[in-house]
Amino acid sequence: MVLDTKSFDGDLQMFRDAPGVANLAQLRLQRWLIDHGRSEHPPAGPPAGDLVDVALASRSTTAATE
């Protein structure tokens, strides 16, 4: 049996799925829940990562149209 080795990460010693498109609506909901103290767990820190700029731009565009 031959396994597909292109999705195997030797550093992690595991197979990985290709990254998909992030669901920004789901991320906004999660952030809202955390910001309003309604999450199951407290936030580990401030928003961070590649999608923060996208989310902030989306939020400022939405606020400007209201």
Answer yes or no: is 11 within a domain.
no
Question: In total, how many domains does the chain have?
Answer: 1
Q: What pLDDT sits at residue 31? A: 86
Cα(17)–Cα(20) distance, integer angstroms: 8
Answer yes or no: is 32 within a domain.
yes
- Number of continuous H segments (helices) and E segments (strands) in the chain: 2, 2
pLDDT band at 64 (very low <50, low <70, confident <90, very high): low
Residue 51: phi and psi, rounded to 5, are: -90, -5
Answer yes or no: is 33 within a domain.
yes
Answer yes or no: is 52 within a domain.
yes
Answer yes or no: is 14 within a domain.
no
- Residue range 21-57, pLDDT digits in tens: 889 999 899 889 988 889 887 777 787 887 787 777 7
Answer yes or no: is 49 within a domain.
yes
Answer yes or no: is 1 within a domain.
no
Domain span including residue 61: 23-66
Answer yes or no: is 50 within a domain.
yes
Radius of gyration for the alpha carbons in the chain, expressed in angstroms and rounded: 17
